[in-house]
Structure 1
Amino acid sequence: MTYQQKTKETENSVVEFIESVESSKKREDAYKLVDVFTEATGYEAKMWGPSIIGFGSYHYKYESGHEGDAPLVGFSPRKAKISLYFAPGETKREELLKDFGKHTTGKGCVYINKVSDIDISVLKALIKQSVQFLQETYPNA
């Protein structure tokens, strides 16, 4: 049985997705984040699965043989918080997060309530570091 990756790049409209977000504040923040991520990566926003806005992509292959494609970085304006997706295993992140502002962290995610809680210059540094890390780890990105 081959593993079917759930989160794939789709042709869905990023704008339509953002417009479907209930909270007007979250919609506003999502548009701000699209600008910040686009500027920091040089990639345009694409939908990955039903709810992740991703930038760039890379192909990974684990020792287990599991492989797939994922966005280099991305975010999702979820109901409770906004999830920011950076490279899993990226080690310098903790250092940058000290000056990031109000957030919580998960395995590959950083969660924020709103963009005004965080330092945008630190966000750009986190994005660039994550992209660089993935492009070095997976050179065919």
Structure 2
Amino acid sequence: MANATQPTETDPRAFCDTVAHPGRREDALRLLDLFAQTTGYAPRMWGPTIVGFGQYHYTYASGRTGDWLATGFSPRKANMVVYIMPGYTDFSHILARLGPHKIGKSCLYLGRLGKIDEAVLAELIRAGLDDLATRWPVSA
């Protein structure tokens, strides 16, 4: 069974421009640039609400295969969801310097970007990509 969320042809900047909350829209546009600069990848929409950078193909021991974004974000109503930690490595030493956040299995939940250290976020994005690449080939 493959992942149901797939890349689309929607323009990521146009999507970010449609985010209803002005602060979340501003942060989404900032993240669009931060991720592009940090990863070197062009943004691509995954499904209707996730902006992804790079991708990888996985095959789990269970036989499940699919493609997924290597890193990215989604400006949700409650939080900015950042997909940067594939869930394999403990990045607590970087997270300790980030600022206010919550973490899920492979997601980072942020409030306003003005409350975090964006240089540390860039470091975390890079560390997550480097860690992912030790397990699955990452491509543009």
| Higher mean C-alpha deviation, range 44-53 or range 6-15 | 6-15
Report the Cα distance in structure 2 between the residues aligned to 1:8 and 1:105, rounded to whole angstroms. 24
Give the deviation of 1:4 after TM superposition.
Answer: 4.2
Q: 1:137 aligns with which of 109, 119, 135?
A: 135
Match of 2:71 in 1: 73
Report the Cα distance in structure 1 between the residues aligned to 2:59 and 2:2, rounded to whole angstroms. 14
Indicate whether 1:32 and 2:35 are aligned. no
Give the deviation of 1:76 after TM superposition.
Answer: 0.4
Match of 2:5 in 1: 7
What secondary structure, in the 3-state scheme, does the structure 1 residue paired with 2:77 have? coil
Contact 1:73 1:86 in 2 (8 A): yes
Equivalent residue letter for 1:91: T
- Equivalent residue pairs, number: 139
Give the deviation of 1:87 after TM superposition.
Answer: 3.1
What secondary structure, in the 3-state scheme, does the structure 2 residue paired with 1:56 have? strand
Equivalent residue letter for 2:96: K
Match of 1:50 in 2: 48
Indicate whether 1:117 and 2:105 are aligned. no
What secondary structure, in the 3-state scheme, does the structure 2 residue paired with 1:72 have? strand
Contact 1:8 1:49 in 2 (8 A): yes
Q: Percent identity?
A: 41
Contact 1:90 1:130 in 2 (8 A): no
TM-score when normalising by structure 2: 0.94
TM-score when normalising by structure 1: 0.93
Report the Cα distance in structure 2 between the residues aligned to 1:132 and 1:36, rounded to whole angstroms. 17
Report the Cα distance in structure 2 between the residues aligned to 1:129 and 1:137, rounded to whole angstroms. 13
Unaligned 5+ segments in structure 1 are none
What secondary structure, in the 3-state scheme, does the structure 1 residue paired with 2:134 have? helix
Q: 1:103 aligns with which of 98, 101, 104?
A: 101
Give the deviation of 1:119 after TM superposition.
Answer: 0.6
Q: 1:22 aligns with which of 14, 20, 23?
A: 20
Q: Identify if the C-alpha distance between structure 1 residues 140 and 56 changes in structure 2 by more than 3 Å, giving closer, same or farther.
A: closer
Equivalent residue letter for 2:109: Y
Equivalent residue letter for 2:116: I
Contact 2:102 2:110 in 1 (8 A): yes
Unaligned 5+ segments in structure 2 are none
CA RMSD of aligned residues (A): 1.3
